[in-house]
């Protein structure tokens, strides 16, 4: 690892100006779980690290009945998983957070850092996408909000400008009859990065599905909403057969990556299986694992 200067700004504006002045020689450090690994492997060699540790603007979890949930970018995954506010108002988000990576990453890594790194094989993006989350970005020039779908641009790429920081994540309030399920598939029990993940949020009227939102991640370059499957489910009575058809639509509509962890065909098959199980779980249905699972 090369030598570097460690900078500790005390405001968003100060941090932004440092990033603008230093350009490509600087990297932002929050939890550091991904950055330090990249530096040790000499994939990146910044001359300056801009620490966010002293920026109180990026901390805390709050809930407002109208605005919903606010999660500071420096909040760790373990804090999201354990938060009584998250568990009460957006339990599917807590369920996702308690499964991110491994205990070391959950106790050190931050939600904001995860989103900015934009690793396609991770958990938060798809879950937040299904929850219609937005992110607040800030710099010395001011603040702006973006739907997370616009923030996630491509493989390891986001809409962050060079002098911007991710300040917070906002999740709108869920109606009382809206439920969510987050599912993931690992190739082996020892693996920490999902090969497939699916988030499904919907309003249940008995067995009728309303306002469905489905997002798929890990098998695609970026987490993506499955709008054709959402439209298919709208107003339907969900049965195992309907869940299977919705899952088939999801599998058809993704553009899976193909790499050493799994071919595109294998990933498409696993997305179909995980999507089917996710839909049936939310609607409390049983599934015959021997038929198209």
CATH number of the domain that residue 266 is part of = 3.30.390.50
Over residues 74-114, the pLDDT tens digits come to 999 999 999 999 999 999 999 999 999 999 999 999 999 99
Q: Smallest Cα–Cα separation from 217: which of 208, 230, 209, 226?
A: 226
In whole angstroms, give the CA distance from residue 2 to residue 264: 37
Ramachandran angles phi, psi of 140, nearest 5°: -65, -15
| Residues 201 and 135 occupy one common structural domain | no
What is the number of domains present in the chain?
3
Q: pTM of whole model > 0.85?
A: yes
| Residues 83 and 27 occupy one common structural domain | no
CATH number of the domain that residue 28 is part of = 3.30.43.10
What tokens does 58 get?
């990026």
Kindly give, in sequence order, each residue whose CB lies less than 8 Å from that of residue 142, ignoring residues fewer than 6 positions away. Answer: none
What integer pLDDT is reported at residue 52 of this predicted model?
98
What integer pLDDT is reported at residue 279 of this predicted model?
98
Over residues 227-250, the pLDDT tens digits come to 999 999 999 999 999 999 999 999
Over residues 111-124, the pLDDT tens digits come to 999 999 999 899 99
| Residues 20 and 124 occupy one common structural domain | no
| Residues 135 and 94 occupy one common structural domain | yes
Q: Which residues pair with 71 in a beta bridge?
A: 61, 169
Q: For the CA atoms of the chain, what is the radius of gyration?
A: 19
């Amino acid at each position: 690892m090369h030598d570097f200067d460690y900078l500790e700004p005390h405001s968003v504006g100060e941090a932004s100006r440092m990033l603008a002045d230093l350009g490509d020689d600087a990297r932002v450090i929050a939890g550091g779980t991904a950055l330090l690994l990249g530096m040790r492997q000499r994939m990146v060699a910044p001359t300056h690290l801009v620490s966010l540790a002293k920026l109180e603007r990026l901390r805390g979890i709050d809930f407002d009945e109208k605005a919903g949930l606010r999660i500071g970018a420096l909040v760790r995954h373990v804090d999201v998983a354990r938060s009584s506010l998250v568990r009460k108002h957006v339990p599917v988000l807590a369920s996702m957070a308690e499964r991110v990576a491994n205990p070391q990453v959950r106790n050190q890594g931050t939600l904001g850092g995860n989103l900015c790194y934009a690793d396609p094989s991770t958990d938060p993006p798809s879950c937040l996408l299904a929850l219609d989350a937005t992110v607040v970005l800030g710099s010395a020039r001011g603040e702006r909000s973006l739907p997370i779908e616009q923030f996630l641009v491509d493989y390891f790429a986001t809409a962050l400008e060079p002098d911007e920081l991710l300040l917070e994540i906002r999740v709108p309030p869920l109606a009382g009859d809206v439920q969510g399920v987050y599912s993931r598939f690992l190739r082996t029990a020892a693996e920490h990065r999902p090969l497939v993940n699916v988030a499904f949020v919907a309003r249940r009227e008995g067995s009728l599905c309303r306002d469905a939102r489905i997002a798929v991640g890990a098998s695609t370059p970026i987490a993506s909403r499955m709008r054709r499957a959402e439209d298919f489910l709208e107003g339907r009575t969900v049965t195992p057969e309907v869940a299977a058809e919705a899952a088939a639509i999801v599998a058809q509509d993704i553009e899976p990556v193909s790499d050493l962890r799994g071919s595109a065909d294998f990933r498409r098959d696993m997305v179909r299986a995980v999507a089917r199980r996710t839909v049936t779980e939310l609607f409390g249905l049983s599934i015959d694992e021997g038929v198209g699972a």
